[in-house]
Structure 1
Amino acid sequence: MNKTKETLITAFALFSLFFGAGNLILPPLLGFKSGDLWWLVTLGFCLSAVLIPILGILAHAKLQGTIFDFGKKVSPTFSLVYSLIIYAISISLPSPRTASVTHEIAIQPFFDTPYLLTSIIYFGLVFLFVMNRSKLLDILGKLLTPAIIFILLMIIGITLFSEDFNFGISQFKSPFTDAILEGYQTFDAIGAVVVGGVIIVSINLKSTATYADKRSLIRRAGWLGGLALFLIYAGLILTGALRHNNFDGEITRVALLTGISIQTLGSTANLFLSLLVSLACFTTAVGVVTGTADFMKSRFRESQLAYNITAVVGCLLGVLMGQFDVAYIIAVALPALMFIYPITIVLIVLNVVPNKWASPFVFKAVILMTTIFSIPDFMNSINLGSYLGNINPMIPLSDYSLGWVLPALVTFIIANLLRKTPPQNADDPA
């Protein structure tokens, strides 16, 4: 297989593994509320939903291991606990949410059936794909992703050529930071450390290329997949902004996406939207469950039984949580994201920067500070911020739920200044 073809297939696979329920329903409503500041909202959303996840893929290209390798410079115990938390969140929230979104958009308009039936059938199919993971990369890259992109481009293109470029007034108090936090709900930073491992394993199953060749392939595919995500997100946000007069101001995420589809694709809207949702959500669920099963397999001496049991448990959790509606799952996810997302972002960045700036001491110091300053945002998300007294006003950016950013950055700089001995592989430029 030539390099161009291999890069395209891997980039398509990355796109489809990232592009799930949240990626589909979040951008249009962001645009709908953004008004003439849609471009600023796009930048904020893509910072947390595109740039950080792609940096996560680049970190995987450098490490070429599993999620466990992301935190091993802090300590093996931290890395294990972090990995277990990430996988527990992944199979309990974003994976089931894909089934819930599929039901609300793709099933309810046609059949009066319960969420439970959809979840059972949905995760039964997910299980079949997970157990045939050697074919995962080709199936995702060659068949599913082009269909997803085609349908999205139809919706975006029709809007751009049929609507006047008139925008409303932004409903956001802080468009840029609000969009960053909305990007958390895509789970894509978490997805990067999870599904990046899936890509690594899938490539290893098919290729005997050198470390350098695989690193180059993943980097090229990562940036190409990131560009595709950016263009699609920008298009969906702009689509929502241009149609601000077409819907009620209190419309939900799912209802807006459905309405836009009907206006752009006419009588065939439900059919196209059903296909889009099914493909986008399904590929994400497969990636999450496969990544979780891969990790548990690696922790139990490459035991296939551990892989199989994890796949079963992941799909059963999907059936259980998939019975709830989308709005409920998004609300439940917020506190977990406010705590674990900053730690994930910092781990990604530290694994991307040159090794000479990311010694074990730097990892420990920055992660500790990030964890401490994520607690107030977490407390605020569960309405317990009052217990912190006057601490919140003293933390820079805490009003934007980003109180961890400056402490992490300052700690990174100070820790590097205090570093007495060079880290291993300090001459590694990546």
Structure 2
Amino acid sequence: MIPKTFRTKATWVTAFALFSLFFGAGNLILPPQLGFKSGDLWGLVTLGFCASAVLIPLLGILAHARLQGTIFDFGKKVSPAFSLGYSLVVYAISISLPSPRTASVTHEMAIAPFFETPPLLTSILYFALVFVFVMNRSKILDIVGKLLTPAILLILIAIIGVITFSFEYQFPDTAFGNPFTNSILEGYQTFDAIGAVVVGGVIIVSININQKQASYAEKKALIGSAGWLAGLGLFLIYTGLILSGALVHNAFEDDISRTGLLSGMATLSLGSIGNLFLSILVALACFTTAVGIVTGTSDFIRSRFHNSQKAYLITAITGCLLGVVMGQFDVSYIIAVALPALMIIYPNTIVLILLNVLPEKYASPKVFKAVVWTTIVCSIPDFLASIGSPLAPKGVILEWIPLQQYSLGWVLPALVVFLIVNAIGFWGESKINEE
């Protein structure tokens, strides 16, 4: 049993840490341009974006609170082999793409405007610091929660506050053909559903280290409360950034880039020191995300090698070296490389999160297997389309698969299979009970 005062403090520190670990490169550069293009439908776009960038990650944290394990536990009801394969793929993608992307964004927005240094130097120094934090992982919650997150929030609130109180609330027509689905898919680009599965394990380990006296129920309540607080914070910040982007629609050219828009918004709101504040924001947000990804990957590999500290060290070094290699490339290049992997792994991550949140009676091993494999099969067309394969479905096939034209063709098949398998299971149980 832990004292109430200490429990409240731990909840806020954990909530700050979760917010900061989620809030990385994509979370900064995506919402403003969404708002910029959303026009008078910025509210609908906010709901779509937050569905995939806030709600699903929040459910992922709640699933972690329930499981109190690692990423391996998310897929073990399908099979141990599947769970191991899924875990390895997620961590390989995480340390190869989203983690290096944080260094690339940091260079383009926080270093290049002020110093004429090569991106490779930025990448080397950046991941050297990441390595230091990863090797001092027991302090992650305190350092991230107490120092970095408040600084990020203050800078963001300043930008959003000035813009929302300075511009007239007049919006043009939306530039999106399908605002809600477009914003859902844009939320994919944050990698936050994957982040919830990855960094949630970091939080679990940190809590186990720092609060050994807490019971399972206390840890579950702490993680759940912190998750809701972090989710609320993300929702408010995303709403503010999207609204701000919509308000400045007349201040910039229509084809302005994501990073250019964010820089312009900082300059508009904070004047000559806007770029400096933005640089600090980008560096802090990106850095904490990279630390969370490399730490989570190292934790998982260590758990597969009987808690070997050597395995943790080797994985941390490997993750940082990959970050150095990939982090020197342009952000646009890393995003392009990441897209195919995103289209095949993200739907399965969403499904695993949802199934792990549901009560046991609705998420049996049979349900897990049927729904997950259905999702994998129905995600293949989106994957093929993302790599420009001639085998990608076109014309009549696209019309035959519901929501396929929105790259969401897996949703209805997975839902139907979920309902059918549960119905068959309940029918079988009723027959047995009658006998």
Scaled by the length of structure 1, what TM-score is found? 0.97
* 2:370 corresponds to 1:365: yes
Is the 2:385–2:392 contact (alpha carbons within 8 Å) kept by the matching residues of 1?
A: no
Greater displacement, 209-218 / 329-338? 329-338
SS at match of 1:74: coil
Cα offset, 1:417, TM superposition = 1.1
Deviations 1:228-282 (A, max 9, x none): 0000000000000000011111111111100110110101112101110110000
The SS at the match of 1:419 is: helix
SS at match of 1:25: helix
Residue equivalent to 1:221: 226
- Which residue type is aligned with residue 207 of structure 2? I
Deviation per CA, 1:57-97, whole angstroms, max 9, x where unpaired?
00000000000000000000000000000000000111000
| Aligned counterpart in structure 2 of residue 191 of structure 1, from 191, 195, 203 | 195
Q: Deviations over 1:208-234 (max 9, x none)?
A: 200000000000000010000000000
> Deviation digits for residues 277-321 of structure 1, max 9, x if unmatched?
110000000000000000000000000000000000000000011
CA contact (8 A) 2:382 2:392 kept: no
Q: Distance in 1 between matches of 2:139 and 2:427?
A: 46
State the alpha-carbon separation in 1 of the partners of residues 321 and 17 from structure 2. 25
Question: What SS does the corresponding residue of 1:2 show, helix, strand or coil?
Answer: helix
Report what 2:27 is aligned to.
23
Supply the AA of the counterpart residue of 1:409: L
Match of 1:205 in 2: 209
Counterpart position of 2:304: 299
Q: Which runs of 4+ in 1 moved over 4 A?
A: 420-423
Amino acid at match of 2:417: T
Letter in 1 for 2:329: F
Task: Assess, with a 3 A threshold, how the Cα gap between structure 1 residues 391 and 273 changes in structure 2: closer, same or farther.
Answer: same
Q: 1:386 & 1:80 partners in 2: Cα distance?
A: 29
2:399 to 373, 393, 397: 393
The Cα shift of 1:332 comes to 1.5
For residue 193 of structure 2, give the secondary structure of its aligned residue in structure 1.
Answer: helix
Cα distance per residue 1:363-386 (max 9 Å; x no partner): 000001000100011111112255
In structure 1, the partner of 2:357 is: 352
What does residue range 148-167 of structure 1 map to in structure 2 within 5 Å? 148-167=152-171
Matches within 5 A, 1:68-83: 68-83=72-87
Contact 2:367 2:418 in 1 (8 A): yes
1:213-362 aligned within 5 A: 213-362=218-367
Distance 1:121 1:341 in 2: 31
How far apart are 1:168 and its partner, in Å? 1.4
Verify the 8 A CA contact 1:396 1:403 in the aligned structure 2.
yes
Q: Is the 8 A contact 1:359 1:422 kept in 2?
A: no
Aligned partners of 1:201 and 1:223: how far apart in 2? Answer: 19
| 2:421 aligned partner, one-letter code | A
Distance 2:158 2:426 in 1: 57
Segments of structure 2 that go 5 or more residues without pairing to the other structure are 430-435
Partner of 1:136, secondary structure, is helix
Letter of the aligned partner of 2:340 in structure 1? P
Say whether the 8 Å CA contact 1:356–1:422 is kept in structure 2. Answer: no
Task: Measure the CA separation in 1 of the matches of 2:173 and 2:318.
Answer: 46
Aligned-residue offset at 1:326? 1.1
In structure 2, relative to structure 1, the CA distance for the partners of 1:422 and 1:259 (3 Å cut) is farther
Q: Give the distance between the partners of 1:337 and 1:294, measured in 2 at CA.
A: 23
Partner-residue secondary structure (3-state), 1:164: coil
Aligned residue number for residue 427 of structure 1: none
After superposition, the C-alpha distances for 1:365-409 in whole angstroms (9 at most, x for unaligned) are 000100010001111111225554542221000011000000000
Distance 1:385 1:246, change over 3 A: farther
* Residue-by-residue CA offset, 1:324-358 (whole Å, 9 max, x unaligned): 11111112211111110000000000000001100
Structure 2: which amino acid aligns with 1:43? L
The 3 A distance-change label for structure 1 pair 421 and 78 is farther
Instruction: Say if 2:45 is the partner of 1:41.
Output: yes
**Which has the larger displacement, 70-79 or 262-271?**
262-271
The question of whether the paired residues in 2 share the 8 Å contact of 1:20 and 1:284 is answered with: yes
Listed as ranges, the gaps of 5+ residues in structure 1 are: 424-430
Match for residue 433 of structure 2?
none
* Alignment partners' CA distance in 1, 2:428 and 2:402: 32
For the 8 Å contact 2:26–2:190, the answer to whether it is kept is: yes
**Matching residue's letter, 2:243:** L
Q: Deviations over 1:12-51 (max 9, x none)?
A: 0000000000000000000000001001110000000000
CA apart distance, 1:422: 9.5
In the alignment, the residues of structure 2 paired with residue 422 and residue 183 of structure 1 have an alpha-carbon distance, to the nearest angstrom, of 39
CA distance in 2, matches of 1:280, 1:161: 25
TM-score normalized by the length of structure 2: 0.96
1:3 Cα shift? 2.2
Q: Which amino acid aligns with 1:398?
A: Q
Q: Are residue 414 (structure 1) and residue 423 (structure 2) matched?
A: no
- For these two proteins, the number of residue pairs brought into alignment is 423
Aligned amino acid, residue 418 of structure 1 = I
The alignment status of 1:3 with 2:7, answered yes or no, reads: yes
